[in-house]
Structure 1
């Protein structure tokens, strides 16, 4: 796994001109408009012609001609900017200086920044949950994501376009959509980046979700890559008829088709029992005719299949069914502009007399509420994993920035108030992840039928805690980065993207308030009658 410095050294070896060595005194002579050289991290760059094209203005870069501009460069730019211009501008390196190995945030390696990784990935730390298989899987997956899809995802974040079907297929054929569903029959015969499907456990799945949150820092792009599948395909796997499963599961896991979960309506969000979309059987009993509206459907704009909650019976939860509806005549989707971006394909879905075969019923008629509830624990746990990983990545960004940014003549980290903010962020992120690992262990060991009753409350409470943590982490991060933390490009872009999207975790999969209430209500049901103050 080559580091940034290793790649730069390789560039030097390939370019004889760049293999030259200079002393600082030689570089100092090149301080005019006719010949402008600068030093960054031990490498010498000829910016004579580039200065006129410099995005930040000619004079601001020209004033450093003949000097070492490393400190100023890292005050203004990410290391990835240096990598971008290195092949074109580097003419050699210092003969009297040793280069510092720089590991950029965009590098695919495991970070050595304090608290940037979960405990097991730190030197000398152990864990009762993970094995060497998990350690190798995280490193391999992170590198694969970096090498194969990150650049395209970064472009999607800028353009706001939907992920292409080619990108979808690349992910699916690597097995990563199957990985995001976790262990189960669908993993049989698969190999996920070196891990046999039969040995792929829920901690491998946790790592998959955590790394997903690091792809490019843009939540809309991350959601555009299979979030609809992660919450929409499990009901087909669990409750679909064999013929439907054989067709739809393979198509979606391979990336050929896309699927989403269509529950929320303009009339009902967390109040699932109040949905109004209807499904009425035809006289011959072979089809349902579906009419109604769905709103805020992730991936709905570009999906082929919609796992849809409909009313087939009377009011309340006892009249709800779940249908797999294929995009067809009468079903129309419209994009909903949202604050975190367009690439997630958030949709308003209009269904007018859509004809659906009765074989597409998932579970039993009027038994759809149970199917929906069976899916919620996994969906909420997934959201927690994404939020937790994002909070950790934000904390890493802040730690790096505090170490390299200088204010009032000294590093930002020297300010006690900044250290206090970092301490609060680290404490909350570590506590969140420890609770997440504990619940993941229960998912790993507890029988599935028992999980529904025993883990629903704790997962709901943890989801509320996770999103509360994300607010505090985001607030402190923006304060540490200042104006950069509310700017979509540059050093604080990751922070800006995070603070723009944190409310999604607090709403999707059940609102914070509903989660807190649910967790306490379920706990109170099991309260021991003989326990008094």
Structure 2
């Protein structure tokens, strides 16, 4: 067991941290306040390769392992969880179905466009199907050498800015999970429109919209896998993404922790810095413990992915724990700031708002606990 990062992993972590400090942190609160998608920053991320961290080397990308990818995710989220969502939703979440199930020709198409700067989006969630993936209603009907898509996707990260989608639809809802199919879809295909943009509590610099499909014709060659493989592809994608979301949550927690320590050292009460009070020291000590434990969990899940070991349970443990850590640390950060923490003048109220989504998307905290509990039952039933 070696806790040292490789030279490449450490180089990527440092590069992401420097980028976050210089290109994200100074502007994050402004993006949040304006509910604004930061196109210029995204273009800079594309130029330095951050928007392509999930592209395999054989298709022109950096070929990073999952540990390196998620170290980058943590550092960018430390700068701003919203722009990190943009990055991760494009190069990781939307592209993971391609990584899992695409042919060589399909990968060349998808990754080639991504390297040119095309943003991706993962279209799974619907108004009536969130945690219940098998309950989705978007239809796909085979007509000749095409599939016709009809339906509405909800809460799609990058929905309004993406140029390519991975879309999940069903041949027949009565078939349940056995009828679900997955497709790569070009945003410029006739019949695709973007619905309302969500006015969100947190991660406000990310773009979250409905995506509507009305008689959208998708070539059969754009199907990932075969008919009925969609549910399996979606589940594998979510398994991979959970360690990524755990890393993102840790980035928010780390940011909240760092500004809390700095504030506690500067803020004077009763004639001395508040960090000298044991009550504040204990809160900071608890933050540090939770962050370090969460980081080890997401790195374990990432390492198991890279080693080809089973990682579903480790990823759920990491996602569930780190989401809770982000919420706990951000809440305590507001408490340390006191009345100032409740104002938008200081960054902790933003971390508080950004943290909440970490317990919701890519599988809620409750769904993760179901996965963890089922693993416990399975192991102790042997």
Q: Which TM-score applies when normalising by structure 2?
A: 0.91
Indicate which of 225, 234, 238 corresponds to 1:363: 225
2 CA distance for matches of 1:230 and 1:201?
12
Provide the residue aligned with 2:34 in structure 1. 159
2 CA distance for matches of 1:130 and 1:370?
32
Native 8 Å contact 1:331 1:354 kept in 2: yes
User: Tell me, what secondary structure is at the counterpart of 2:318?
Assistant: helix
Indicate which of 13, 16, 26 corresponds to 1:138: 13
2 CA distance for matches of 1:152 and 1:419?
30
Alpha-carbon offset, residue 312 of structure 1:
1.2
Unaligned 5+ residue runs, structure 1?
1-125, 192-196
Indicate which of 264, 270, 294 corresponds to 2:125: 264
Native 8 Å contact 1:340 1:501 kept in 2: yes
CA RMSD after TM alignment:
2.3
1 CA distance for matches of 2:45 and 2:243?
22
Alpha-carbon offset, residue 471 of structure 1:
2.2
Q: Which has the higher helix share?
A: 2
Q: Which stretch of structure 1 is more off in the superposition, 476-485 or 337-346?
A: 337-346
Counterparts in 2 of 1:251 and 1:310: CA distance versus 1, 3 Å: same
Deviation per CA, 1:418-440: give whole Å up to 9, x if none.
11211211121122122223333
Alpha-carbon offset, residue 522 of structure 1:
2.7
User: Tell me, what secondary structure is at the counterpart of 2:265?
Assistant: helix
| Residues 113-262 of structure 1 aligned to structure 2 (within 5 Å) | 128-147=3-22, 155-164=30-39, 167-179=41-53, 181=54, 186-188=56-58, 197=62, 200-215=64-79, 217=80, 219-255=81-117, 257-262=118-123
Indicate which of 280, 287, 304 corresponds to 1:425: 287
User: Tell me, what secondary structure is at the counterpart of 2:154?
Assistant: strand
User: Tell me, what secondary structure is at the counterpart of 2:96?
Assistant: helix
- Answering whether residue 197 of structure 2 is matched by residue 323 of structure 1, we say no
Native 8 Å contact 1:394 1:477 kept in 2: yes
Alpha-carbon offset, residue 319 of structure 1:
0.7
Provide the residue aligned with 2:136 in structure 1. 275
- Answering whether residue 164 of structure 2 is matched by residue 300 of structure 1, we say no
Alpha-carbon offset, residue 293 of structure 1:
1.1
Q: State the aligned residue count.
A: 379
| Residues 334-373 of structure 1 aligned to structure 2 (within 5 Å) | 334=195, 335-373=197-235
- Answering whether residue 346 of structure 2 is matched by residue 476 of structure 1, we say no
2 CA distance for matches of 1:205 and 1:524?
32
Counterparts in 2 of 1:351 and 1:202: CA distance versus 1, 3 Å: closer
Provide the residue aligned with 1:81 in structure 2. none
Native 8 Å contact 2:73 2:88 kept in 1: no
1 CA distance for matches of 2:25 and 2:253?
19
Q: Which TM-score applies when normalising by structure 1?
A: 0.67
Provide the residue aligned with 2:360 in structure 1. 507
Which consecutive segments of 4 or more residues in structure 1 shift more than 4 A? 147-155
Greater C-alpha radius of gyration: 1
Counterparts in 2 of 1:419 and 1:152: CA distance versus 1, 3 Å: closer
Native 8 Å contact 1:294 1:348 kept in 2: yes
Native 8 Å contact 1:175 1:190 kept in 2: no
Q: Which stretch of structure 1 is more off in the superposition, 224-233 or 464-473?
A: 224-233
Alpha-carbon offset, residue 456 of structure 1:
0.9
| Residues 394-409 of structure 1 aligned to structure 2 (within 5 Å) | 394-409=256-271
2 CA distance for matches of 1:478 and 1:463?
23
| Residues 51-70 of structure 1 aligned to structure 2 (within 5 Å) | none
Native 8 Å contact 2:89 2:122 kept in 1: no
User: Tell me, what secondary structure is at the counterpart of 1:421?
Assistant: helix
Alpha-carbon offset, residue 501 of structure 1:
1.8
Counterparts in 2 of 1:457 and 1:305: CA distance versus 1, 3 Å: same
Unaligned 5+ residue runs, structure 2?
none
Alpha-carbon offset, residue 149 of structure 1:
5.6
Native 8 Å contact 1:157 1:221 kept in 2: no
Alpha-carbon offset, residue 205 of structure 1:
1.8
1 CA distance for matches of 2:92 and 2:106?
17
Alpha-carbon offset, residue 264 of structure 1:
0.5
Native 8 Å contact 1:457 1:520 kept in 2: no
Deviation per CA, 1:211-256: give whole Å up to 9, x if none.
11123x3x2233234523320012123322433322221111331x
Counterparts in 2 of 1:468 and 1:155: CA distance versus 1, 3 Å: closer
Provide the residue aligned with 1:116 in structure 2. none
2 CA distance for matches of 1:146 and 1:382?
20
Counterparts in 2 of 1:190 and 1:352: CA distance versus 1, 3 Å: closer
Deviation per CA, 1:392-444: give whole Å up to 9, x if none.
22111111111111012111012221112112111211221222233333223
Alpha-carbon offset, residue 380 of structure 1:
0.6
Counterparts in 2 of 1:351 and 1:131: CA distance versus 1, 3 Å: closer
Provide the residue aligned with 2:318 in structure 1. 462
2 CA distance for matches of 1:366 and 1:131?
40
Native 8 Å contact 2:67 2:302 kept in 1: yes
